[in-house]
Chain A
Amino acid sequence: MAETKVIMPQMGESIFEGTITKWLKKKGERVERDEPLFEISTDKIDTEIPAPAAGVLQDILVKEGQTVQINTVVAVIGDGSTKPAAEGAKEPTQPEPPKEVKGPAPVAGPTAEAEKTSPEPAARSRPSPSEEEIRSSPLVRRIAKEHNIDLSALAGKGTGIDGRITKTDILSYIEQPGKAAPAAPRKPEEPARGPKAPPVPPTPAPMKFTGDVERVPLTAMRKAIAEHMVMSRKTSAHVTTFFEVDCSRILKAKEKQQAEFERSSARLTVTPFFVQAAANALKRFPVVNSSLEGDTIVYKRPINIGIAVNLEWGLIVPVIKNADEKNLFGLAKALNELGDRARNKKLTPDDVKDGTFTITNPGQYGGLIGTPIINQPQVAIMGMGGIKKRAVVIDDAIAIRPIIVLSLSFDHRVIDGATADQFMADVQKQLENWTV
């Protein structure tokens, strides 16, 4: 070993510098290990420092009276063979500031700069100018990237807040044919189809309205309805059949029983009559009370009739369970309760599940007929038009009767037209022959 560096020691955890007050040996002098070599002064203590090794004091790098940071090399002890450094000693090597330095912060500059360059808002760091206007999310951007989609293709079509493109948006977009360009390279054998395959027309860009707009995001319920309607249309083979029904007898019955029902706190409308007629008919035509699961028709034993209720915030279908076991009064009461609960947002999950058939009332605002969409996974839905007095022909004479047009949308995968019409004829017959 040729040389030993002598360092300024750290005399205490909060000490970061020391002053050489006296050299006890001269340059070139022999020194033994542990022999006192120099004296120092620090904030906490003045003390003498012993030599760390034996040898010759080859270089003194820090003069008396000089203050240096701890761990600075202040001298070098050699084995006597190397020449001492030139006079007018060079600057003592300043080591990196130690981690425990608690005195004045040695470098204020870089820290302050680091603070200034804190991350800028994400929008500015995006390269593509068009992307700045398009709000999405990390997930959406990743999905877009994976499918080689430029998000500007969805500009203005986001369904999230403020038109944000959501996960559902991009996934739906991808599902459309031709949208997602796979990242894999094109295969070279493509033109083998024919000598001159007609050029595939480019997918037209979706039309965009360029006028003034107001964006209102869908509520959760609206979104659920929207998704359901599209899904139902895609699932069932919808056909709608229409039947005119003479309501004179049921209206008379209603008039007669109304007061009595009211006394027992059951408001009586025309709806319970239709529910009862439908329930009876479903008993006789069980296929209308079924579902299709894959290749299997699932006939349901209970007859649970849902009544679509229109609320200001959306559509909900509470269900009267076992409607066939209830009489008119029971149905009226059930309808009242469900209607109230629906309006007060007090429906339980139980109230809206397990329906087997649905009745809706598109005629309540005066419309003639409707073509309702089936409430999946059911296979039929009955729509009630408005009851209007009309001139009809009875026994070759003209009479005035209150007429309703009932519509039945049914799933032609499971129910044929004949069955649907027979079902509706049954309903019609019950209603037109109603006895109290």
Chain B
Amino acid sequence: MSLTTYVEAIRQGIWEEMEKDDRVFVLGEDVGIYGGAFKVTAGMLERFGEWRVIDTPISESGIVGAAIGAALMGMRPVAEMQFADFISCAFDQITNFAAKCRYRWGAGVPIVVRGPSGGGVHGGPFHSQNPEMYFVHTPGLKVVCPSTAYDAKGLIKSAIRDPDPVIYFEHKFLYRRVKEDLPSDDFVVPIGKAAIRRNGSDISVITYGAMVYIALDAAKELEKEGIDLEVLDLRSLLPFDKEAVLESVKKTNKVILLHEDTQIGGFAGELAAIISEEAFEYLDGPIRRITAPNTPVPYSPPLEEFFLPKISDVVRVARELYAY
């Protein structure tokens, strides 16, 4: 059984949806002839033709706006942002048009806007961002961040089938580093459900995206000292699995919130507030956050290494929290 990489899983997911539903189509920069900057859409033009795999001008606002228009007419567009960083160029169309149509006039906008986010590839400030929170902050949207190949495929399908606009952030660092054996059936991963990656009893580490692997590696180290981490992978940020979060906190009574996104306005702040509001009496220690600092993503390797949360950060904070 060959292993499927995370990026291939996304490609398969989109491909399979396009096969079974001819309302689904792809548009974006370099998605057709080139097969996508990261080859997510490789082979699709040949298979589905130029009216379902559309190479566009450099026009993120145009791309998303056109997707919205097509979706209003009943199509199911999958719009690619070549790097998630560029999604800011389409901010208005996403947050003011797509997100508010149903609320205002009952018109659903079933678009998917997807793109590679995250750092660790020497990409610098404009090719490494984690822009998820701008959209988590916008009611009417859904936001997902898969961390495994299985989830990447299952969530892209859920996103395409969802009647509301879904922003799908795929972590570029994981594209080829993460692989697994995928089932051959038509499986989906529901939006809004977390997954426990490691059961543990001492401290809950709640995280998503590439940081899931940082948490798991830290858990292996801490095991040797008798510290048993539980790792909860959120998978979806909007909606998110509040039940799973609270359940984990109630079980271990100590929690670390970990994300690659910067600190202020990051999802950890939201979770910390919710945990404090709804599980205060289950806390045996302060809620700890591990995030990137409040700076743009730097380029030079020592700077980027400083910026990104590391295994040693998780180990250090876990030890402190364990001893509290």
Contact = CB atoms under 8 A, between A and B. Distances in A.
A137 B324 CA distance: 10
Contacts of A219: 323
A160 interface: yes
Contacts of A140: 284
A352 B285 contact: no
Interface in A119-163: 137-142, 160-161
B225 A167 contact: no
A137 B253 CA distance: 10
A333 interface: no
Interface in B268-301: 280-285
- Which bracket fits the contact residues of A? 20 to 34
B226 interface: yes
B220 interface: yes
B126 interface: no
Contacts of A349: 220, 223-224
B281 A224 contact: no
Given A139-B282, A220-B226, A221-B226, A167 B323 contact: no
Contact of B319 (A137, A167, A220): A220
A219 to B, nearest CB: 7
Nearest to A351: B224
A138 B283 contact: yes
B187 interface: no
B224 A139 contact: no
Given A160-B323, A167-B253, A139 B226 contact: no
A164 interface: yes
A139 B281 contact: yes
B224 A161 contact: no
Contacts, number: 46
A146 to B, nearest CB: 10
Interface string A219-241: 11101100000000000000000
A140 B285 CA distance: 10
Contact of B280 (A138, A160, A221, A224): A138
Contact of B323 (A137, A161, A347, A352): A161
Interface in A317-354: 347-349, 352
Q: Which of A139, A140, A166, A217 has the most CB of B within 10 A?
A: A139
B130 to A, nearest CB: 31
Given A160-B324, A161-B323, A220-B319, A167 B226 contact: no
Interface string B308-324: 00000000000100111
A139 B220 contact: no
A223 B224 CA distance: 13
Contacts of A141: 281
Contacts of B227: 220
B224 A167 contact: no
B312 to A, nearest CB: 13
Interface string A197-228: 00000000000000000000111110110000
Contacts of A218: 323
B224 A347 contact: yes
A164 B224 contact: no
B322 A137 contact: no
A166 B225 contact: no
Contact of B225 (A139, A142, A221, A348): A221
Contacts of A224: 225-226
A167 B284 contact: yes
A139 B323 contact: no
Nearest to A228: B226
A397 B250 CA distance: 72
Contact of B283 (A139, A221, A347, A352): A139
Interface in B209-226: 220, 223-226
A139 B223 contact: no
Contact of B282 (A138, A164, A166): A138
Contacts of B285: 137
Contacts of A167: 253, 284
A140 B283 CA distance: 8
Contacts of B281: 138-139, 141-142
A127 to B, nearest CB: 17
Nearest to B286: A137
Contacts of B324: 160-161, 164, 166
Interface of A: 137-142, 160-161, 164, 166-167, 217-221, 223-224, 347-349, 352
Given A167-B253, A220-B319, 16 more contacts: A137-B283, A137-B284, A137-B285, A138-B280, A138-B283, A139-B281, A139-B284, A161-B323, A166-B324, A217-B323, A218-B323, A220-B225, A220-B227, A221-B225, A223-B226, A347-B224
Interface of B: 220, 223-227, 253, 280-285, 319, 322-324
22 contacts: A137-B284, A138-B280, A138-B281, A138-B282, A139-B282, A141-B281, A142-B281, A142-B282, A160-B324, A161-B324, A166-B284, A166-B324, A167-B284, A217-B323, A219-B323, A220-B225, A220-B227, A220-B319, A224-B226, A347-B224, A349-B220, A352-B224
